[in-house]
Amino acid sequence: MVRNADKYYFPIKESIESILPIVDEFIVALGAGDEQDQTRELIESIKSDKVKIIDRVWDEKDFVDGKIFANETSFALSQCKGDWCFYLQADEVIHEKDLPAIQKACEAYQDQSEVEGLLFKYYHFFGDYEHYLPFHGWYKNEIRIVRNHIGCYSYKDAQSFRKKDNEKLSVKEIDAHIYHYGWVRPPEIMQSKKKEQHSMHHGKEESEKAYGYNPDEFEFGAIGALPKFPGTHPQVMNHFIEKLHWKDKLIFARKVKLHRPPMKHEKPKYKILSFIENTFNGGRDIVGYSNWNLLK
């Protein structure tokens, strides 16, 4: 599900292209966007019969607690015919090196009905494509493949899935990552997108109150305090990476005075938790988010 991907700098085309080789079809629930937005043109430029666009109009009464995101995701899921459904948000991309493992897992668990979904690891990038957030408070895992026709639906603000009467899915963890680029945008677009997202959770009126006094550009903070990503990016992202043009607006010091409320990874409590988890617990959360039953 997507709307205004072009306007808000989502790598929607790259997201779709990243898994297109291993899917039979790709359903896009495309919300009506701003007049100048080129999201449809970006998707249609893929030139694949696998991609099926379904036009949607987002209902503003659902602009609370991210309900609109869940509703549109559940709609897209309802249109899928395959045995497994691979859900990617418009700022999530898969590395080509992980495609064989993903396909192998789907084949291996095809006839094991107790496996209702597959759990992926995450890389959250921040500010640019060189820095990422392996920290407490940024979800380390999430369900991105679900078994079809078992009553799955999008949960809360479309971050995850449940089934039937609010039941958690039983999942297997696989050795594959989601590359999340939702926090890699030009500062002015990042701020505009945050305002829009805030309105989807709290309504337009509350969004205006929350952001009416804020500067026009998002402060990414002390990028120099974040670890550098040691791996490679998906090949489909090369164009996005090459066109990064806001490096002069990032601060690569280890400390900086913030003019906004600190984010979780900037708070002392979470810094301590992250140090303990990354040093002594293999990067796994000691306590934290878990919306699944993990099968061994």
50-62, pLDDT tens digit by residue? 999 999 999 888 8
Q: What is the pLDDT of residue 262?
A: 94
- What residues make up the domain containing 31? 12-183
Q: What is the pLDDT of residue 196?
A: 82
Query: Do 286 and 251 contact (CB within 8 A), yes or no?
Result: no
Q: In whole angstroms, what is the distance from residue 277 CA to residue 296 CA? A: 22
3 state DSSP class of 194? helix
Q: What is the pLDDT of residue 238?
A: 98
Structure tokens at 138: 């940024």
The answer to whether residue 240 is domain-embedded is no
Q: In whole angstroms, what is the distance from residue 118 CA to residue 295 CA? A: 10
How many whole angstroms from its chain centre is CA 292?
18
In terms of C-beta distances under 8 Å and separation of at least 24 residues, what long-range contacts does 228-235 make, across chains too?
228/130, 228/131, 229/123, 229/125, 229/129, 229/130, 229/131, 229/132, 231/123, 232/95, 233/95, 233/129, 233/179, 234/14, 234/18, 234/93, 234/94, 234/95, 234/96, 234/179, 235/96
Structure tokens at 199: 């309105």
In the chain, how many domains are there? 1
> Which backbone phi and psi does 111 adopt, to 5 degrees?
-100, 10
The answer to whether residue 37 is domain-embedded is yes
Structure tokens at 18: 């990243």
CATH code for position 129: 3.90.550.10
The answer to whether residue 196 is domain-embedded is no
235-268, pLDDT tens digit by residue? 999 999 999 999 999 999 999 999 888 999 999 9
Q: In whole angstroms, what is the distance from residue 200 CA to residue 194 CA? A: 10
Q: Which residues 6+ apart lie within 8 Å of 163 measured at CB?
A: 116, 150, 151, 152, 153, 169
The answer to whether residue 255 is domain-embedded is no
Q: What is the pLDDT of residue 195?
A: 83
The answer to whether residue 89 is domain-embedded is yes
Q: What is the pLDDT of residue 96?
A: 98
The answer to whether residue 200 is domain-embedded is no
Q: What is the pLDDT of residue 216?
A: 86
The answer to whether residue 66 is domain-embedded is yes
Structure tokens at 49: 């019969």
The answer to whether residue 233 is domain-embedded is no
Q: Low-confidence residues of the chain, pLDDT below 50?
A: none
Q: What is the pLDDT of residue 62?
A: 84
Treating both helix axes as pointing N-terminal to C-terminal, what angle do 204-211 and 187-202 enclose, rounded to 10 degrees?
140
Whole-structure pTM value: 0.95
